[in-house]
């Protein structure tokens, strides 16, 4: 049994590398700069007097597969469905001349798949909005946080336009999924490799 595990991992790594779409991480268009720290990624963009950062973490970013029944019907030669990483992401808009940062907590709704009919539908939604003091890593729970569930639609639309004006729109959200999925897969392969060397050195 001791040899079977490393051998399984070796085969698994080979398979995963075969289906790996991107050897290097895909770029996000619109002049975003990418910083990656482990599973956390940050995209930064500067626009006239503002700095926009988008942060996301790939951990727990792959939604659970729909239902188990479909897997039983799969023919053995069919490819497994592509796993897509749709992480929550936080947009921070920092104005150079104020000490405040506008923070928008965004996510991809799980039921978005299959809404092809609605052309204008946004692929991400804003969940919460708050102001935080610029430069402080710990956000204060005492700062008012606006939950968008009960929000006036006109205000919500303005917030979405505000983000779009800063380059955070559907195109960006699509490219973020692409980037996050590639990053997640890269980390998964690295994890398998680490696990292999860990299991071997018993």
Residue 96 burial (C-beta neighbours within 10 Å; 0-12, 13-18, 19+): exposed
Q: Say yes or no to pLDDT of 124 above 70.
A: yes
Q: How confident is the model at residue 139, as a pLDDT?
A: 67
Q: Say yes or no to pLDDT of 76 above 50.
A: no
pLDDT-derived band at 134 (thresholds 50, 70, 90) equals confident
C-alpha distance from residue 123 to each of 9, 57, 69, 143 (Å): 36, 18, 27, 28
The answer to whether 137 and 40 have CB atoms below 8 angstroms apart is: no
Q: Say yes or no to pLDDT of 162 above 70.
A: yes
Q: How confident is the model at residue 72, as a pLDDT?
A: 47
**Tell me: the pLDDT tens digits for 79-118?**
556 789 999 999 999 998 888 899 999 999 976 554 444 4
The arithmetic mean of pLDDT across residues 133-156, rounded, is: 84
H/E run at residue 6: helix 4-19
Q: Hey, what are 155's tokens?
A: 């205000």
Average pLDDT, the chain: 86
Q: What does the alpha-carbon distance between residue 91 and residue 34 come to, in Å, rounded to a whole number?
A: 14
Q: What does the alpha-carbon distance between residue 126 and residue 189 come to, in Å, rounded to a whole number?
A: 32
Q: What does the alpha-carbon distance between residue 102 and residue 110 come to, in Å, rounded to a whole number?
A: 25
The answer to whether 124 and 107 have CB atoms below 8 angstroms apart is: yes
**Tell me: the pLDDT tens digits for 17-42?**
999 988 889 999 999 999 999 999 99
Which domains occur in the chain, in start order?
A: 29-60+83-111+119-183 (3.10.280.10)
Q: Say yes or no to pLDDT of 176 above 60.
A: yes
């Amino acid at each position: 049994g001791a040899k079977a595990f490393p051998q399984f991992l070796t085969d698994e790594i080979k398979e995963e590398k075969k289906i790996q779409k991107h050897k290097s991480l895909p770029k996000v268009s619109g002049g975003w700069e990418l910083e990656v720290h482990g599973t956390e990624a940050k995209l930064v963009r500067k626009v006239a007097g503002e700095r926009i950062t988008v942060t996301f973490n790939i951990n727990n970013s792959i939604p659970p597969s729909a239902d188990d029944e479909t897997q039983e019907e799969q023919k053995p030669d069919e490819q497994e469905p592509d796993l897509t990483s749709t992480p929550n992401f936080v947009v921070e808009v920092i104005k150079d001349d104020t000490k405040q940062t506008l923070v928008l907590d965004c996510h991809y709704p799980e039921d978005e798949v299959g809404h092809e009919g609605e052309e204008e539908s946004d692929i991400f939604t804003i969940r919460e909005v708050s102001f935080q003091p610029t430069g402080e890593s710990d956000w204060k729970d005492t700062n008012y946080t606006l939950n968008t569930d009960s929000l006036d639609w006109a205000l919500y639309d303005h917030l979405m336009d505000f983000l779009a004006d800063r380059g955070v729109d559907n195109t960006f959200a699509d490219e973020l999924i692409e980037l996050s999925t590639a990053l997640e897969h890269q980390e998964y392969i690295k994890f398998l490799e680490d696990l292999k060397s860990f299991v071997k050195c018993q």
